[in-house]
Amino acid sequence: MKYLDEYRDARIARALLAEIAQEVRGHWVLMEICGGQTHTIMRYGLDELLPKNIELVHGPGCPVCVTPLETIDKALELASRPDIILVSYGDMLRVPGSTNDLFTIKAKGGDVRVVYSPTEALKIARQNPGRGVVFLAVGFETTAPANAMAVWQAKEEKIHNFSVLVSHVLVPPAIRALMTSSECRVNGFIAPGHVCTVMGYEEYEALVRDFRVPIVVGGFEPVDLLEAVLMLVRQLEKGEARAENQYVRSVNYEGNLPAQRVVKEVFEIVDQKWRGIGTIPASGLRVRDAYGDYDASRIYGLASITAEEPAECISAKVLQGLKKPTDCPAFGMRCTPHNPLGAPMVSSEGACAAYYNYRRDLAVR
């Protein structure tokens, strides 16, 4: 297939559904890692079209959702300072911190600017040499190369008023943490295609071997996801566990090696706190000492800021596939996209926002 329309073609989707129904025998719990994949599943109703013995649960792959509360609080602290321009992707502005969000700070006069890339943030730094420009650099392996490149570029150009407030997370350690949990019910994973475009899927081999769990790299269109489900079902029914690639139009085994090199040059792997989930060993990135002058956390002395999660939000369970958003008592009532209590209701990739947009009627009243 060559064109996007073909990946949304109802006839192809129906044929894949028929094949899945023909091949499935057992009851399988499959997790799509990425929030973009969750939104496609909800939008096209794929979970309702699949045979009843295939259960789809939603994973932690929404970068906005897993950004720790204290990172938001640090961004709020920086955005409140008159000597700083806080630059961010639009998604982050409505994510609630402990007391506020970036939109509110902006409304009160804070200099918060929305960009589409860290290169734009660097441009703002060049244009405002008298002020500190901090880019809120969050995301999975997908966005890490561009953020690393911005830091590398700033050092090359000796731009000293640019820095990044980093909250980068990595997918394979998160899958390992899920699989070692006693509550885990997942039989197979759909790995995130965009992450694998950068990282390849070689690094999933260790997970397949250690947990005998099949992992299929999947794309983001309905036909992509149904094909990934079929590939997982075929493995599970034969008792096999392999790393496979459905998203061949974008992903190869090794990934994008130059992109990986720039990430390694600027960042190092550290234990990372995930919002609602807690600390996962070796699951995040931080700025290396050699680039420490570009690390906002160090420059502005933010390390002491800590925060507690709101008790009412069950996003930790949602992000681990243990609960559905509709199981949350606040869903659609006290928590809506206009008045979010937790990040999964804010982000365009959040599972709670997906259910609010496409399955609001399922909420328990």
Please choose, from the candidates 278, 284, 358, the residue with its C-alpha nearest in 3D space to the C-alpha of residue 325: 358
Dihedral in degrees, nearest 10, Cα atoms 286, 289, 294, 296: 60
* Three-state DSSP state, 342: coil
Residue 72 has, within 13 A of its CA and on its CB side, a CA count of 29
Q: Which residue, 210 or 312, is less far from ligand SF4 as judged by CB?
A: 312
- Residue closest to ligand SF4, measured at CB: 342
Q: Which residue, 137 or 341, is less far from ligand SF4 as judged by CB?
A: 341
Going edge to edge, which strands form the sheet with 215-218?
Answer: 54-61, 28-34, 188-192, 215-218, 243-245
Binding stretches for ligand SF4 (CB under 6 A)? 312-315, 318, 325, 328, 330-331, 335, 341-342, 344-345, 352
Least distance in angstroms from the C-beta of 335 to ligand SF4:
3
Q: Which residue, 96 or 192, is less far from ligand SF4 as judged by CB?
A: 96
Least distance in angstroms from the C-beta of 30 to ligand SF4:
21
Least distance in angstroms from the C-beta of 313 to ligand SF4:
3
Dihedral in degrees, nearest 10, Cα atoms 4, 5, 10, 14: -30
Least distance in angstroms from the C-beta of 327 to ligand SF4:
8
Least distance in angstroms from the C-beta of 322 to ligand SF4:
11
Separation CA 95–CA 100 (nearest Å): 9
Identify the burial level of 364 via C-beta atoms within 10 angstroms of its C-beta, where 0-12 means exposed, 13-18 middle and 19 or more buried: exposed
β-bridge pairing 267-274 and 112-114: unpaired
Least distance in angstroms from the C-beta of 141 to ligand SF4:
24
Least distance in angstroms from the C-beta of 328 to ligand SF4:
3
Residue 6 DSSP symbol: G
152, amino acid identity: W
Describe the crossing of helices 35-44 and 222-237 by its angle, rounded to 10 degrees: 100
Given its phi and psi angles, is residue 154 left (phi above 0), alpha (psi -120 to 50 degrees) or beta?
A: alpha
Q: Which residue, 225 or 345, is less far from ligand SF4 as judged by CB?
A: 345
Q: Which residue, 201 or 331, is less far from ligand SF4 as judged by CB?
A: 331
Least distance in angstroms from the C-beta of 76 to ligand SF4:
19
Query: Angle 108-112-117 (CA atoms, 0-180°, nearest 5)?
Result: 165
Q: Are 198 and 260 in contact (CB under 8 A)?
A: yes
